[in-house]
Amino acid sequence: MRKVLLWMGLAILLQLQLGSAYKLVCYFTNWAQYRPDPAKYSPNNIDPYLCTHLIYAFATMKENKIAPFEWNDESRFFPEFQALKKRNNRLVTLLAIGGWNFDMKTFTQMAASQANRKTFIDSVVAYLRKFEFDGIDLDFEYPGSRGSPPEDKHHFTILIQEMLEAFKVEATSTGKPQLLITAAVAAGKGTIDAGYEIAEIGKLLDFISVMTYDFHGGWDPVTGHNSPLYQGSTDQGDMKYFNSKYAMEYWNNNGVPAEKLLMGFPTYGRTIKLSSSATSVGAPASGAGSAGPYTREAGFWAYYEICTFLRSASVCWINDQKVPYAYKGNEWAGFDNVCSYKHKVKYLKEKKFGGAMVWTIDLDDFLGTFCNEGKYPLITELKRLLETNEPIVADCPKDQSCYTGGGTTTPTPSPPTGPTPNNKFCSGKEDGTYADPADRTKFYMCAGGRTYSFSCPTTLLFDESCTCCNYPKY
C-alpha cells in the first residue's frame, strides 16, 4: 500500500513538474524580420516558456533536398532559435518545410520516386541534426490540390512511411532521441479528401496540426469569419463544412486519434471590403480589406493591428459561431480574442484533442504596447486555459449586441442587395446561391423569388463545389 501511495505521489509530482498534458505548438515566421518597427520580430523576441513546441517556418527545397529560404536562416536565426532551449530545456523545436508560397511542383517531383524521396529524407536527417532541431514539420499545401496531381495523395503517405523508418534507423545507430515527424494539414473537406490518406498518416505522424483558419476572407463574395468554431445558422451547401468543429471531427472520425490532433488558433484576422450598407455575417463584399500598417498584406491583420482598429470600430459577437467581428466604414474584420479562445479551448478539452497550434507567435501583441492587454495576450490566455484543471466556463461575452466606443448599437441586417440585370433568374427556384450559366465570374443569390447578382473578385471564378469564389482549378 505504501508503495502504491509513493508511486501515486511521484506521478502527481511529475505532472506538476511537466505542467499541462496539452501541447501548445507555436509557429515563428522568418519573414517577420522585415516588418517595420516596432512590429519587427526575430527569435530573440520569443518567450521560451510560452509554448511547449516552437516550429520555425519555413525551409524550402532545392534539387530534392531541404534548403534554407532566408539569407540569414543558417547564420543567425537557427542559432538564436535553438538558444531558447538553453533557457527552457523542455522546449521542443521543429523545422517546417513548405507553406502557402511553396511550389508544389517541387514536392511532386521529389515524392514521385523512391530515389528522390531518399535524397530528400537523407538531407532532412543531416540538416535537422546539424542545426539541432528535434524534428520536421511537413507543411505542403496541398497534396492533390493547387497543381499537385491526385497521385501525390498516396505519395505523401509513402514519404512519411519512409521518413519514419529512416528516423528510427538513425536514432538506433547514433543513440540520439528519434526525430519527430509532424504535419500541418488542411481544414477544408474537399482539400482533405483530395490530399490525405487520413487513417494511414494518423498512425505515422507524432501529431497533426489542423489549420482551422482561413475559412473565409477577401476571396468570398460575402463576409464570413476567418476561424469560426461552429457552423453558422445561415451556412448552406459546402459552407457548413467551413468551421473548426467540423474540420477537427472530420480528421478524428476518419481515423486520427484525438490526442494526436491539434486545433489551429489564429493570432490574426481576415479583413473584407463591404460593398453595401449591410455589415453582419453574409453581407455583400468586394474583395480583401486594406493592408495593415505592419503586416502590409491586403485582407490580413495581425492581432496588434486589429486591437487598434477596435477602438473606433463597431465590435459584434457571432453567437452561433462563438467568434467576434468588427466593422468601420467599408472595412470588416473577422478575428479571434480571449473570449473566442475560451470557447475553443472548452470545446478542445471536451473532445480530448491533443492541444493547440498557433499561427503565429509573431502576430500576437508580443510587446504588449498595441493592445494594452499585457505581452502576448492571446497566447498567454491560451496557455492558461490549457493548463488549468478548473472547468472552463465559456460565458463571454454576456452582451451579444454590438458596441462602439463602449456604447451599444443594434447589429445591421445583411440581406442581399439589388437591383440586378437578370431579375427573372430566380423565378421558381429555391433560396440559395447559383452559378451564372453564361459567365463563370458571376453568380446569383435567390431569396424569396427575388434575384441578386454578384461578381467574383479579380482572378477568381465561381466554384459550385463550395458555392463560393475560388481560384481556378488546374
Q: Which residues are catalytic?
A: 141
Asked if residues 27 and 96 have their Cβ atoms less than 8 Å apart, the reply is yes
Asked if residues 152 and 107 have their Cβ atoms less than 8 Å apart, the reply is yes
Find cell 547564420 and name the residue: 75
Closest CA to 371 of 447, 289, 311, 283: 311
Pairing label, strands 268-274, 331-334: antiparallel
Asked if residues 333 and 413 have their Cβ atoms less than 8 Å apart, the reply is no
DSSP state of 178: P
How far apart, in whole angstroms, are the C-alpha atoms of residue 60 and residue 102? 7
CA contacts within 13 A on the Cβ side of 397: 17
CA contacts within 13 A on the Cβ side of 310: 24
DSSP state of 456: P
Partnered with residue 140 across adjacent β-strands are 99
Alpha helices per DSSP H over 59-113 = 78-87, 104-111
- Residues making up the chain, counted from first to last: 474
Closest CA to 138 of 30, 226, 55, 247: 55
Residue 139 neighbours by CB under 8 Å, 6+ apart: 57, 58, 96, 97, 98, 99, 102, 183, 184
How far apart, in whole angstroms, are the C-alpha atoms of residue 256 and residue 250? 9
